[in-house]
Structure 1
């Protein structure tokens, strides 16, 4: 004989009952409960479906976070390459009088991008749904923009150092 357990809606105590039983009484608060046939199976199916939905929501959030991170890494790579290019062009045009100062323009665009791009990227951080736990959420707003700006500046400094080494070799 199988014994089923459910929670009392009044006191949350465990109530044991037989699957065919239609009425039971809570041993803790004496509440009389009508048992609907198949209600446990329906609750179990509903719980399974909610779990599947939560997993799907978390998966979609993780995909959007990965896409956002890929874009930020591309930005950092672009900053690195453009910094090297700008310094090499500045050095080239410094030694050639009357040349168009393309390196200076690229460098100025990089300086502007240090303020503009992180501010825009920090606004496009994927919004976490309520089903995602706090440690898995990405931070957005001013702290994210400052972190991205500092990272871009460090990447640019690395690019400047590489450009300096290239100029010394040549």
Structure 2
């Protein structure tokens, strides 16, 4: 049975239930499998040995998610070849590809968790009520440990960009 956690995240002040375990800084990053824009599987292990900035959004087609991904594309994507920037949502890969083309986003790789909800369930970020992912930012070091984690409590709020980028820069 999947663990349920309530009272942590809201949308417009209404509480949501998160499915999956609670993760923390210092934890080994759980494995996951998602798909890229060509429906090819992508795992955490595919970027082993590199610094990973993982941004998690409910849907690219919402204003806050759009702003968030554009900002990380602008500020993080060009920092180092040793950095991988992923954005994970449950949007269909076709929609992600269309959005990236329209937005001119090339430095962030959009990945979809729509098939198995594997990422959402392993990272405790799947919302039971919406079947969308909660907004979060993670930084995972080369050894696979989570060194930064922000779960945005109100889904319509933006994350702390400066703190996430500072965590990334410390590892590069």
* Structure with greater proportional strand content: 2
Task: Tell which has more relative contact order, 1 or 2 (C-alpha 8 A, sep 6+).
Answer: 2
Give the TM-score, by structure 1 length: 0.21
Point out the structure with max Rg over C-alpha.
Answer: 1
**What TM-score, normalized to structure 2?**
0.21
